[in-house]
Amino acid sequence: MSEKIGVYVCHCGTNIAGIVNVEEVSQWAGSRLKDRGVVIARDYKFMCSSLGQELIEKDIKELGLTRVVVAACSPHLHERTFRTACERAGLNPYLCELVSIREQVSWVHTDKIAATAKAEAVLSGGVERVIHNEPLEPLKVPIHPDSLVVGGGIAGIQAALELADGGNHVYLVEREPSIGGHMAQFDKTFPTLDCSACILTPRMVQVGNHPNITLLTWSEVTKVDGYVGNFEVAIKKKARYVNTELCTGCGICVEKCPKKVVDDVFEAGMAKRKVIYIPFPQAVPNFPVLDAPNCTFFQKGTCKACEKFCPTNAIDFNQKDEDITVKVGNIVLATGYDLFNPRRIPQYGYGRLENIFTSLEFERLCNASGPTGGNIVLKDGITPPKTVGIVHCVGSRDQNYNGYCSAICCMQSIKFAHLVHERTGADIYNFYIDIRTPGKSYEEFYQRVLDEGTHFVRGKVAEVTEVARSPEEEGKLIIQVEDTLIGKQRRIPVDMVILSAGLEPRYDAKETGKLFGIACSADGWYIERHPKLDPIATMTEGVFIAGCVQGPKDIPATVAQGAAAAARIQGKIQQGEITLEPIRASINEDQCSGCRICNDLCPFSAILYHEDRAVSEINAALCQGCGTCVAACPAGAISGTGFSNEQILAQIEGLLLLNIDQKESKKVLA
Amino acid sequence: MKQYAYYPGCSLESLAVSYNLANIEVSRKLGLELSEIEDWNCCGATAYFPVDEFLAYTLVARNLAKGEKMGLDFVTPCNGCYKNAYFTNAYLQQDPDLAEHINSALEEDNLHIEGTSKVKHLIEVFVYDVGLEEISKKITHPLQGLRVAPYYGCQLVRPRKNGEDVENPRYFEDLLSTIGAEPVEYYSKTHCCGGSLIVTNRMAALDMINKLLQDAVKSKADVIATTCPMCNVNLEVYQGYVNREFGTDYSVPVMYFTQIMGLAMGIKPNLLGIGKELVSGATMMSFAKVKESG
Amino acid sequence: MNNDDTFEPVIIGFTCNWCSYRAADTAGTARVKYAPNIRLIRLMCSGRLDPTFVLKALANGADGVLITGCHPGDCHYVEQNYKALRRFHLLKRVLTQMGIEPGRLKLVWASAAEGAILAAEFDKFINEVRALGPLNLPLQKQKTFSTPALEEVAA
């Protein structure tokens, strides 16, 4: 019954050996834990090296080891290394445990004797645990070659195109009537001052024409079932009230529609649109959408002008929402950001005073297809401003609102300064905390705008007010700010204020995340698998994130992430199947009483209940291995492979040194 | 009669005696009894906290403990006292270490503080506890047309508590409307009056007071109503200094809000301490006089 | 007990693989120092924490148990830390009824980056348990050692 356990204690140079007496630990294990099954105990300078690993492999082969325990660094670093070594020698990798005596002992304690004693206890815990380890096989699941991209902004467009160009079929789902996202609203992009639409629309057209992309705009995902490689996604295609088979995109319906409403999506509230509308001239697909809640026909039963004038009879007031289900192997979430609402900072007067614009509103002002034809003018629609104030960090880097930096506002503000200078010759003031221009050619762009004569005032704007205190201030907006470089309060009268509002997660990001089984951090951005080394994967296999959903970033970084997600997915599709870690729970049917306490505990809906047999069952592929159900089952019918009750209880006993002489059990400090 | 543990604060014994009188008169008319806390001490105002925070908290806590002992809500008519009391009370509840330290000091005086009593400013008591409807019933001499600038002062609303609106609170305006006055749009209603800077850095304070007076004049206020003796003194007593320094010509009456309320309730001006001001309130009083005779 | 008369508590700490275990690692990488009285066990999630683990630890020599996990809202498995929280509160009441001081069980949230914070929490808890003194449950003397089935643990 007794296992043959090999124990290996790593010096890690002096990282461990400098504090923990590794030879003593190894000898201790060899003698005191001999009764527990330890047949060999070694210490070595660098266990993770090939020589170190060979020690393990040799012992497995020659001594017929059935279990291996390595006491070294954190399992997050080298668990895989040692498990692979065991596998090479013919031992199931899950019969190997790595316990940390570096990050959790030698690096955090100074008392050598206490550290050595603790290392022994930790090792003992590992030994007791490993006895109960069972050989496990990773699960292999097939990968469906289709993919789903949610969000038709530049991130989603990039991901979709890369996947489609690689020969794979993609569903691109977008909530608005057209793809393009926020980038379609901008006028020029920094630092090149490319026209945003000019660089974006060719991609949009490509998406619209691509044989491998099924474009579903004016649609939303309603449910996601399944697991990596095998997702079943329910999508609601909202009714456009336009038959896209017949519609030619001629636009007569839009022309003839008698009713206008404020366009608070694309035009950011700066202009009106018709009730039946195409969001912007370059929309893809170029089919109009009828805004039913505002439509005269739906409200009162009259009008129907669009239907009357449509030359191809494409208007269909009876159209209903359509629900479809698609099967995909992987999902990319690229749903973008919302802008911080500056109304939350009443001192800035947004919404109360005239001629104060948010960044998106100003983009529409600058845009040639915007409400003023690209003329930068005041609310009267005619007068250009003579002085403009641009406020950085509105709602960002602020403990009262969002503590993080929104990454793009400095460059955006500098870009605005340039555009105002170019088109109006106005006097421009930028109010900043720091100037953040890290990207390629960003700093040079800043220098250029400095040379143009824009004034940069280092100070956080305290207030934007209309209350004048001197004749020059009458009729103006006055920006009150402390100019920290000269140490004086300044009141600067301007005609127009642009607030560079920060980026925030979408208002429904949390709900959307729940739909796809991913979580948000405290700031509301989706949590990536690793912030440095894996920013586009999430903890949920098969679901990727790209673009601002992961955090504020500029267009180059967004595009890179979209492409990265696509590349990762293509790699998986190529392999045809994916291997999942076998840390899962399973229910022993005989012990299950059908109480269903576990059913509601699973956030991944991995537990099904069989009415006929009155027992619950866990879908191993859906199960993510958290173990909550294992702990909850009153009958103890659920076991968690890799973290079973037996393993953990044994580890507790080992840690408390119950497996050896009782007198030793409290030995902690000198 | 609803009772409150009343903490007048040092100023109400001397420079702001009229405020104290007005408070008591108006409260009585509204069916409230302000039971003055026995042997209360100074709250430390703005001066003490930067000197020694812990001692300053203890100073305030002594008053709070005495109020707690009375089993009544703690009410004060001064913004500074209010801010000190409110936040000392709140911090005691949040920080058990602080509470323990303070209580070990209070023990010397046979006192103990739990932090359970509510701390309110007198204006809050009127607006929220009594309610505007009840107040309107007691108005016998509505001050039609009297343009009042509601000067909240900064410490009444800062630091922000319970998500209150610190940029544009409206309850003072509502109260003034209820008593028949016309509250004006007073831009700097929550801006600082300079506080004790009037002593330590007079120029800075005079500059701030100048702005407050300027805005009151701009909005054509007949009188500035205050909720704090410090604000009142700065705005009224130093108006002359402002005029000398900036070459202005201000003559804006400054009254405590309870004095104005009292007039609307038909209480005789001398009972409200009116007549002791430095800036003549004669023009403003014409409203009350008209009603008195009418 | 060590050879002197000063008592040094033994604490068992449960950590979750994604947040608090990584926080402990972060503390290590940053070389933040804390007292050696605490020994950690890695679970995949704080939701895995079976109350019997806590009882087992206390019954067999531990003077205190610290449960750690991801901050509410940050759980890798979406919301399992809330379930751990519920169990913790109930368990604390049960322990009190069993005559064990509630101060011997504590719950602390820590995200992967909060190494220094977690280390400070370790030290704080160790001091708190040291002040309580040794637990000395009678069961401790019993050699319950064997491969434990669940029935034996609560005995």
So what's the pLDDT on residue B278?
80
Task: Give the lowest-confidence range in A453-457, A510-514, A616-620, B288-292.
Answer: B288-292
Indicate if A58 and A121 belong to the same structural domain: yes
Indicate if B192 and B275 belong to the same structural domain: yes
Handedness of CA A603, A604, A606, A612 (dihedral sign): positive
Task: Please state the domain count of chain C.
Answer: 1
Q: What CATH number does the domain containing B192 carry?
A: 3.40.50.11810
Q: Would you say residue A667 has pLDDT above 90?
A: no
Indicate if A329 and A217 belong to the same structural domain: yes
Kindly indicate the confidence band of residue C19, based on its pLDDT and cuts at 50, 70 and 90: confident
Task: Please state the domain count of chain B.
Answer: 2
Q: Would you say residue C148 has pLDDT above 60?
A: no
Indicate if B116 and B170 belong to the same structural domain: no
B187/A346 Cβ within 8 A: no
Amino acid identity of A296?
Answer: T
Amino acid identity of B263?
Answer: L
Q: Which of A502, A535, A550 is the last residue of a domain?
A: A502
Selecting from A527, A636, A648 the residue whose C-beta is nearest the C-beta of C53 gives: A648
Indicate if A226 and A258 belong to the same structural domain: no
What single string gives the DSSP state of each residue in A419-475?
HHHHHH--EEEEEES-----STTHHHHHHHHHHTT-EEEES-EEEEE---SSGGGTT
Considering just the CA atoms, what is the radius of gyration of chain A in Å?
A: 32
Q: Would you say residue A622 has pLDDT above 70?
A: yes
**C-alpha distances out from residue B181 to A619, B121, B145, B168, B264, Å:** 72, 21, 6, 19, 9
Chain A residue at shortest CA distance from C149: A646
Q: Looking at chain A, which subunits does it touch, using at least 3 CB pairs closer than 8 Å as the criterion?
A: B, C
Neighbouring CB atoms inside 10 A of C55's CB total: 21
Answer yes or no: is C5 within a domain: no
Q: Does C73 touch chain A (CB under 8 A)?
A: yes
Amino acid identity of A483?
Answer: D
Answer yes or no: is B135 within a domain: no
Indicate if A350 and A482 belong to the same structural domain: yes
B168/A467 Cβ within 8 A: no
So what's the pLDDT on residue A242?
96
Indicate if A393 and A516 belong to the same structural domain: no
So what's the pLDDT on residue C71?
85
Q: Is A315 helix (H, G, I), strand (E, B) or coil?
A: strand
Answer yes or no: is B128 within a domain: no
Neighbouring CB atoms inside 10 A of B268's CB total: 12
**C-alpha distances out from residue A429 to A27, A416, A455, A467, Å:** 72, 11, 5, 20
Tokens of A555: 């267009």
Return d(Cα B278, Cα C110) in angstroms, integer.
61
Answer yes or no: is B43 within a domain: yes
Among A664, A663, A628, A665, residue whose Cα is nearest residue A643: A628
- Structural domain for C50, as ranges: 11-142
Q: Tell me how close the Cα of A409 comes to any Cα of chain C, in angstroms.
A: 26
Chain A residue at shortest CA distance from B186: A467
pLDDT in tens, A158-201: 999 999 999 999 999 999 999 999 999 999 999 999 999 999 99
pLDDT in tens, A492-534: 999 999 999 999 999 999 899 989 988 888 789 998 888 888 9
pLDDT in tens, A325-369: 999 999 999 999 999 999 999 999 999 999 999 999 999 999 999
Q: Does C37 touch chain A (CB under 8 A)?
A: yes
Q: How much is the average pLDDT of A102-127?
A: 94
Answer yes or no: is A131 within a domain: yes
So what's the pLDDT on residue A661?
62
Q: Tell me how close the Cα of A346 comes to any Cα of chain B, in angstroms.
A: 7
Q: Looking at chain B, which subunits does it touch, using at least 3 CB pairs closer than 8 Å as the criterion?
A: A
Contacts A465 to B, Cβ<8 Å: 187
So what's the pLDDT on residue A491?
97
**pTM (whole model) above 0.90:** no
What single string gives the DSSP state of each residue in A605-651?
--EEEETTTTEEEE-TTT-----HHHHH-TT--EEETTS-HHHHHHH
Chain C residue at shortest CA distance from A518: C78
So what's the pLDDT on residue B291?
47
So what's the pLDDT on residue B288?
57
Q: Does B186 touch chain A (CB under 8 A)?
A: no
Kindly indicate the confidence band of residue A148, based on its pLDDT and cuts at 50, 70 and 90: very high
Answer yes or no: is A455 within a domain: yes
Indicate if A42 and A110 belong to the same structural domain: yes
Contacts C39 to A, Cβ<8 Å: 118, 121-122, 125, 655
Indicate if A369 and A485 belong to the same structural domain: yes
Q: Tell me how close the Cα of C81 comes to any Cα of chain A, in angstroms.
A: 9
Neighbouring CB atoms inside 10 A of A34's CB total: 12
Residue A490: partners with Cβ closer than 8 Å, 6 or more residues away:
A457, A459, A479, A480, A481, A482, A483
Residue A542: partners with Cβ closer than 8 Å, 6 or more residues away:
A227, A228, A229, A231, A329, A330, A331, A578
So what's the pLDDT on residue A580?
85
Q: Looking at chain C, which subunits does it touch, using at least 3 CB pairs closer than 8 Å as the criterion?
A: A
pLDDT in tens, A273-299: 999 999 999 999 999 999 999 999 999
So what's the pLDDT on residue B287?
63
Cβ atoms of residues A314 and A285 within 8 Å: no
Return d(Cα A494, Cα A151) in angstroms, integer.
39
So what's the pLDDT on residue C106?
95
C residues 109-138 lying closer than 8 A (beta carbon) to A: 119
Kindly indicate the confidence band of residue C147, based on its pLDDT and cuts at 50, 70 and 90: very low
Q: What CATH number does the domain containing A431 carry?
A: 3.50.50.60
Indicate if A368 and A496 belong to the same structural domain: yes
Neighbouring CB atoms inside 10 A of A636's CB total: 16
Q: How much is the average pLDDT of C34-54?
A: 93
Answer yes or no: is B129 within a domain: no
Indicate if A196 and A290 belong to the same structural domain: no
Q: Across the A/C interface, how many CB contacts are shorter than 8 Å?
A: 174
Q: How much is the average pLDDT of C45-60?
A: 92
Answer yes or no: is C72 within a domain: yes
So what's the pLDDT on residue A566?
98
Q: How much is the average pLDDT of B95-118?
A: 91
Selecting from B165, B168, B211 the residue whose C-beta is nearest the C-beta of A469 gives: B211
Q: What is the largest CA-CA distance in chain B?
A: 61
pLDDT in tens, A407-437: 999 999 999 999 999 999 999 999 999 999 9
Answer yes or no: is C3 within a domain: no
pLDDT in tens, A67-79: 999 999 999 889 9
pLDDT in tens, A560-604: 999 999 999 999 999 999 888 888 899 999 999 999 999 988 888
Kindly indicate the confidence band of residue B251, based on its pLDDT and cuts at 50, 70 and 90: very high
Indicate if A103 and A10 belong to the same structural domain: yes
Cβ atoms of residues A179 and A152 within 8 Å: yes
Indicate if B16 and B152 belong to the same structural domain: no
Handedness of CA B153, B155, B159, B162 (dihedral sign): negative
Return d(Cα A498, Cα A267) in angstroms, integer.
16
Indicate if B166 and B84 belong to the same structural domain: no
- Structural domain for B208, as ranges: 140-293
Answer yes or no: is B269 within a domain: yes
Answer yes or no: is A366 within a domain: yes
Q: Does C148 touch chain A (CB under 8 A)?
A: yes
Neighbouring CB atoms inside 10 A of A24's CB total: 16
Indicate if A180 and A125 belong to the same structural domain: no
Return d(Cα A135, Cα A94) in angstroms, integer.
6
pLDDT in tens, B110-126: 999 998 899 999 999 99
Q: What CATH number does the domain containing C72 carry?
A: 3.40.50
Q: Is C6 helix (H, G, I), strand (E, B) or coil?
A: coil
Q: Would you say residue B244 has pLDDT above 90?
A: yes
What single string gives the DSSP state of each residue in C87-125?
HHHHHHHHHHHTT--GGGEEEEE--TT-HHHHHHHHHHH
Pairing type for strands A260-263 and A271-274 reads: antiparallel
Phi and psi, residue A165, nearest 5°: -65, -25
Kindly indicate the confidence band of residue C152, based on its pLDDT and cuts at 50, 70 and 90: very low
Q: Would you say residue A1 has pLDDT above 80?
A: no
CA dihedral A70, A72, A78, A79 (to 10 degrees): 40
**C-alpha distances out from residue C61 to A497, C9, C25, C53, Å:** 67, 9, 25, 13
A628/C47 Cβ within 8 A: yes
Indicate if B25 and B167 belong to the same structural domain: no
Cβ atoms of residues A500 and A413 within 8 Å: yes
Kindly indicate the confidence band of residue C138, based on its pLDDT and cuts at 50, 70 and 90: low
Q: Any idea what DSSP says for residue B13?
A: G
Q: Across the A/B interface, how many CB contacts are shorter than 8 Å?
A: 11
pLDDT in tens, C109-128: 998 778 899 999 999 999 99
Cβ atoms of residues A246 and A312 within 8 Å: yes
Q: Which helix (H) or strand (E) holds A481?
A: strand A477-483
Answer yes or no: is A314 within a domain: no
Selecting from C28, C37, C44 the residue whose C-beta is nearest the C-beta of A583 gives: C44
Work out the end-to-end distance of chain C between its first and last CA atoms, rounded to an integer number of angstroms. Answer: 24
Pairing type for strands A496-501 and A387-394 reads: parallel
- Structural domain for A596, as ranges: 585-638
Q: With left for phi above 0 and alpha for psi between -120 and 50, is residue A14 left, alpha or beta?
A: alpha
ipTM here: 0.87
pLDDT in tens, B52-63: 999 999 999 999
> Before A211, cis peptide (omega within 30)?
no
> Before A191, cis peptide (omega within 30)?
yes
Contacts C77 to A, Cβ<8 Å: 539, 603-604, 624, 626, 628
Residue A386: partners with Cβ closer than 8 Å, 6 or more residues away:
A426, A427, A495
Kindly indicate the confidence band of residue A233, based on its pLDDT and cuts at 50, 70 and 90: very high
Q: How much is the average pLDDT of B153-161?
A: 92
Amino acid identity of C132?
Answer: L
Q: Any idea what DSSP says for residue A534?
A: B
**C-alpha distances out from residue C30 to A78, A116, A216, B25, B68, Å:** 19, 20, 49, 66, 48
Cβ atoms of residues A584 and A604 within 8 Å: no
What single string gives the DSSP state of each residue in C42-94?
EES-GGG--HHHHHHHHHTT-SEEEEEEPPTT-BTTBSHHHHHHHHHHHHHHH
Amino acid identity of A109?
Answer: H
For chain A, list residues whose CB is within 8 angstroms of any CB belonging to chain B.
346-347, 465, 467, 469
Tokens of A61: 């082969």
Q: Any idea what DSSP says for residue A353?
A: B
A632/C83 Cβ within 8 A: yes
Q: Would you say residue C142 has pLDDT above 70?
A: no
Instruction: State the average pLDDT for chain A.
Output: 93
Q: Does C47 touch chain A (CB under 8 A)?
A: yes
